[in-house]
Each structure stands twice: as C-alpha cells, then as structure tokens.
Amino acid sequence: MEISLLHNIFLFKGKKFQDLKDLNIYSYPNDIININDKNLVNLIITGHDQANLNNKDKKDKYLSISNLDLNKKSNHYKIDKPVAQIINDLNIYTSCINGKIIIGLIFDKEDNPYDYKEIFEELLSELLNNGTVYSFDDEIEIENLLISMFIDIRRYGDEIIEKPPKIVYNYQQELFIKVFLFGIDEVGKTSLVRRIKTGEFNDNFFAPTRKFNIEYIEKQEKGVLAFWDMPGQQNFRKKWLIGLQDSNIIVFMIDIANQIRFEESKKEFWNIVNRDDLSGIPLLIVGNKTDLIKSSEKSRENQLEKLKEELFDFFNFKNINNRDWALLFTSVKTKYNIDAVIQNIFNLVAS
C-alpha cells in the first residue's frame, strides 16, 4: 500500500471568523476548500475553536483573541496547539495564529495527524518567529508560506514518519540489534541507512532529519538491525537522549572531509560516549566521505592511514575504554566499506 501523505494545506484569514464575508481562503496545491462551502468552512472554524476552548479548560496556555493585534508588526506570533478533526470525510489538522488566522493540513484518512504535531508546530514557529516577518497582507507571501510548509511536511511524511517493519522476524531465533546512529548534521547518516536498506545513493538527496528515522533492515540468517538514525542539527541533538535507550551498539559518524567541524563533532561524541548508561556498549566510528579526499590511487592507503592517526589524536580516541570499538572509513557515495559496516556491527555486538 502507498504511504499516505499530506494532501493539502490551507489558510483562513479574516477579521472575524464568524463573519465569513470577510474571510480569505488560500489553499495549496489545489483548492480543496472554497469560500462557497460555507458549511465546511464554518465546521472547521467552530470545530477548531471548540477544541481550543477545551484545551483552555485544561489550563492550557491560551491567549484570548482580543489581547492580540495582528496589525502590530511584531514578529511575535502566538501559535496554538494544533487540533485534529474529521469533517465531511476530510482528515483535518488546524492551528491558529494570533487568534486571527487558521492554518490547516489535510491528510489521508489513514494518516494520524498527531504524527505531524511536532513538525507542524516547529515549522510554524520557525517560519513565523525566526525568519522573515510575515504580515499576512500579501498574497504572494501567504502562498510562499503555504508552499514551503507543504514541501517540508510532505517530505517529512515521506521520509521520517515511522513505518512499522514490513519484514517478519522471530525475536527468539534471530539477533535483534538496536543501532544508535549519531553524529552532527550532514555527515551522511541517513544516506548510509538508505544505502544499506535500498542500495541507493543520490547526490541530490538532501533532507536533514528532524525526527528519529527508524529503519529495520534484515540481514539474512544474521538478524535484524534497527537503525535509529538521529537528527544531527544542533536544535535536534537534545532528542538523542531519548533515542539511545536500550541500544546494542552506538555508531558515530564523522564527515572526514569537513575538518572545520571536527571540534563540534568531538564535543558531541564525548557527550554521548561518556554517559554512564552506555558504558560497555560497543562503538563503531565511521569516517565517511572518503571519496572527497583527494589523492592518487597509489597513495590512497597511506593517506587514509595518516588520516586515521590524525583522527585518533584530535578526537582522543585513545581514551575510549571499557568497550569494544572499531574505526572504519567509508564512502556511502561509492559504496566503499558499506558491507564492512554491517559486518563490524555484527562482530562488535557478538563479542
């Protein structure tokens, strides 16, 4: 079955929602909701309000509409907790901005809107409170907002929403290994998991991971690897602590061609490796992107050997103790040592 995805994104803008004649409706990519569907529009607005009032009863933070003035060009937008409702067979998830704008997502019926709660809230606050100052006066501006949100949420659904493993396995007979894969952004973690899972690599594939990307990969007769591919961007690193529980092995990835970020990388490495709850857990260090290291065919081995020593010194790997560990150079792009990653994971876990 196809994975269900975001269908549409819409935005209602009006002075008073109750008075539909002043309401403007924007929609992307198609006009699912039209001002002539008064009934539907009313249901969405009242449904959203109702749920919000309930939230308020539960002592949720909520600002009354009259306290806010949208025309004040402050960049401080108040974003409400999204509300899920099914109306006329549409699976709708709405949030309200400053009490005067409703922005909504329409998903497939099978989709669980709450899977998108975090990304929806994060994107809105990123776009409205960290980026350009939106006035919501300009149609083009509103359209751009909808398009960029649509693309981001769609991509997120495509890549990140956890799908149940499609493979059947037997916990008793096979090894089930949870792999905690971490490292700063853009080192190639998600590319590695894709490469192992599908065999594919795409240079143009560039979508920073936002949630946990969990992929189950079955290796015949050996067992199942559950890769917990962590988001590497600074803002998301605090989530690592949730992801690392019960890991059987931790895999740390470095972009060896990007030495400018070694210092940052090293700090994150030791933050995790020094944790008491991970003591004794085997560790695999993957130095990725060897294809970007310029060298002639002949001197390649020497070059990598030299690099290994440099990494050792810089990252202080000699201080790793009380655990089995290994370091491996890879190129997800050229497939260099990708099989060895799997082999090393099984070896380290077995020892």
Ligand X SMILES: Nc1nc2c(ncn2[C@@H]2O[C@H](COP(=O)(O)OP(=O)(O)OP(=O)(O)O)[C@@H](O)[C@H]2O)c(=O)[nH]1
Residues that bind Mg ion (CB under 5 A): 189-190, 209
Binds ligand X by CB under 6 A, chosen from 91, 95, 190, 344: 190
User: Is residue 211 close enough to count as binding ligand X by CB under 6 A?
Assistant: no
Q: Segment near ligand X (CB under 6 A), from 85-93, 147-155, 225-233, 243-251?
A: 225-233
Neighbour order of strands in the sheet with 175-182: 213-219, 223-229, 175-182, 249-255, 283-288, 325-329
User: Is residue 243 close enough to count as binding ligand X by CB under 6 A?
Assistant: no
Q: Binding residues for ligand X, how many (CB under 6 A)?
A: 22
| Contact of 303 with 261, CB cutoff 8 Å | no
Q: Give the closest residue to 230 by CA, choosing from 276, 271, 176.
A: 271
Q: Which does 205 bind (CB under 5 to 8 A by kind): Mg ion, ligand X, none?
A: ligand X
C-alpha distance from residue 220 to each of 8, 169, 175, 224 (Å): 41, 11, 11, 8
CA 350 vs. chain centroid, Å, equals 31
User: Is residue 233 close enough to count as binding ligand X by CB under 6 A?
Assistant: yes
At its nearest, how many Å lie between ligand X and the CB of residue 4? 23
C-alpha distance from residue 240 to each of 174, 182, 261, 288 (Å): 27, 8, 19, 20
Nearer residue to ligand X within complex by CB, 288 or 344: 288
> Which of positions 312-351 make contact with ligand X (CB under 6 A)?
331-333
Binds ligand X by CB under 6 A, chosen from 27, 191, 265, 344: 191
At its nearest, how many Å lie between ligand X and the CB of residue 111? 23
| Contact of 161 with 107, CB cutoff 8 Å | no
The whole-angstrom separation of Cα 83 and Cα 74 is 25
User: Using CB under 6 A as the criterion, what x/- string covers residues 82-121 for binding ligand X?
Assistant: ----------------------------------------
Max CA pair span of the chain: 76
The whole-angstrom separation of Cα 211 and Cα 205 is 17
What is the token pair recorded at 152?
């981001």
At its nearest, how many Å lie between Mg ion and the CB of residue 69? 40
Nearer residue to Mg ion within complex by CB, 214 or 348: 214
What is the token pair recorded at 169?
């396995």
User: Using CB under 6 A as the criterion, what x/- string covers residues 169-188 for binding ligand X?
Assistant: ----------------xxxx
| Contact of 10 with 26, CB cutoff 8 Å | yes
Nearer residue to ligand X within complex by CB, 62 or 201: 201
Residue that is written with structure tokens 């709660």 in the block: 117
At its nearest, how many Å lie between ligand X and the CB of residue 125? 19
The whole-angstrom separation of Cα 155 and Cα 125 is 18
At its nearest, how many Å lie between Mg ion and the CB of residue 308? 25
Nearer residue to Mg ion within complex by CB, 82 or 188: 188
The whole-angstrom separation of Cα 189 and Cα 279 is 23
Nearer residue to ligand X within complex by CB, 128 or 332: 332
Q: Which residue is nearest to ligand X (CB)?
A: 232
Backbone angles phi, psi at 202, to 5 degrees: -135, 115
Binds ligand X by CB under 6 A, chosen from 208, 302, 313, 316: 208
The whole-angstrom separation of Cα 233 and Cα 186 is 8
Binds ligand X by CB under 6 A, chosen from 86, 133, 292, 350: 292
| Contact set with ligand X (CB under 6 A) | 185-191, 203, 205-206, 208-209, 231-233, 288-289, 291-292, 331-333
